[in-house]
């Protein structure tokens, strides 16, 4: 996708996609603490574009953690075993001979079933396969903006039911897996609890509204008949992931990407069977959705 240069930043260079969703940032070294004015501009770019990425940034795990903490406290990552001695870092590793589905293969906003889901997720590429492995992002803001006035009125005040039961429950998708997986996933009855969040979420920084539902973690609508709720959710899911709202992110070695779970969904694409892929992931604590 062609890119358009954004020029209203003083200490960083931002090249955004033409629709404003997704942007590359250069002109800085994120292995060292950012100066306050630079950090503020990075945060502004993140809020504006939803997904930002930094190419050519080799990082140690200490540097990755330090970068994360400049945006807030670590989020809580349940149901997946963290790295040894690194309780806030997940290693997303898939060996060349693995047959299990690539992790994150369904549309979702990270851990939306929590009372306070993470504001952001950071992913750093350590080993990038020569083919496949893209991450797709869907813009919940423009998807909401384009709804009819009638649909917006219908969604006003609705609370969506979020749960991790489908992937992580005791009888969920991961519990039923038969193929060997390098990542240690913990299926649990704790994943079967439910959490209510507004179906339309207002971003705490920009004030923009966005659809806040996903087929992975949204299982119903509070107070609505199940059949009616599933019909409405199905319509919203299909609407959100239309090509015009989706940005396909191409990874490079030593690239760091930060996305905003408060306003966009993401999906991990496959297509790299026979190749090693290693990513390190952290999350940034968020607030109660409103």
| Residue 108 appears among annotated catalytic residues | yes
Task: Select which of 49, 108, 197, 277 is catalytic.
Answer: 108
HEC profile for the chain?
Answer: CCCEEECCCCCCEEEECCCCCCEEEECCCCCCCCCHHHHHHHHHHHHHHCEEEECCCCCCHHHHHHHHHCCCCECCCCCECCECCECCCEEEEECCCCCCCCCCCCCECCCCCCCCCCCEEEEEEEECCCCCCCEEEEEHHHHHHCCCHHHHHHHCCCEEEECCHHHHCCCCCCCCCCCCCCCCECCCHHHHCCEEEECEEECCCCCCEEECCCCCCEEEECCCCHHHHHHHHHHHHHHHCCHHHEEEECCCCCCEEEEECCCEEEEECCCCCCCCEEEEEEEECCCCCC
| Residue 281 appears among annotated catalytic residues | yes
Task: Select which of 197, 266, 277, 280 is catalytic.
Answer: 266
| Residue 154 appears among annotated catalytic residues | no
Task: Select which of 49, 124, 277, 281 is catalytic.
Answer: 281
Task: Select which of 77, 88, 94, 110 is catalytic.
Answer: 110
| Residue 239 appears among annotated catalytic residues | no
- Enumerate the active-site residues: 108, 110, 266, 281
């Amino acid at each position: 996708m062609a890119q358009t240069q954004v020029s209203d930043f003083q200490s960083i260079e931002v090249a955004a996609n033409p629709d404003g969703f997704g942007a590359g940032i250069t002109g800085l070294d994120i292995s060292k603490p950012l100066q306050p004015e630079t950090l503020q501009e990075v945060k502004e770019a993140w809020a504006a574009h939803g997904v930002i990425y930094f190419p050519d940034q080799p990082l140690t795990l200490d540097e990755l953690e330090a970068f994360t903490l400049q945006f807030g406290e670590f989020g809580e990552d349940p149901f997946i075993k963290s790295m040894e001695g690194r309780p806030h870092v997940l290693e997303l590793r898939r060996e060349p001979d693995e047959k299990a589905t690539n992790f994150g293969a369904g549309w979702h906003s990270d851990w939306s079933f929590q009372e306070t889901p993470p504001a952001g997720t950071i992913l750093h590429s350590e080993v990038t396969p020569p083919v496949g492995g893209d991450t797709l992002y869907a813009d919940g803001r423009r998807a909401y903006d384009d709804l009819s006035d009638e649909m917006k009125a219908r969604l006003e005040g609705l609370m969506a039911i979020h749960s991790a039961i489908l992937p992580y429950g005791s009888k969920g998708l991961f519990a039923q897996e038969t193929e060997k997986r390098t990542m240690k996933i913990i299926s649990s009855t704790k994943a079967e609890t439910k959490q209510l969040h507004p179906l339309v979420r207002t971003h705490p920084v920009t004030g923009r509204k966005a659809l806040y539902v996903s087929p992975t973690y949204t299982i119903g609508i509070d107070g609505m008949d199940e059949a009616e709720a599933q019909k409405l959710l199905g319509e919203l899911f299909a609407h959100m992931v239309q090509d015009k709202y989706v940005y396909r992110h191409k990874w490079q070695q030593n690239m760091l990407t930060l996305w905003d779970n408060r306003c966009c969904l993401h999906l991990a694409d496959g297509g790299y069977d026979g190749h090693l892929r290693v990513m390190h992931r952290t999350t940034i604590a968020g607030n109660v959705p409103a």
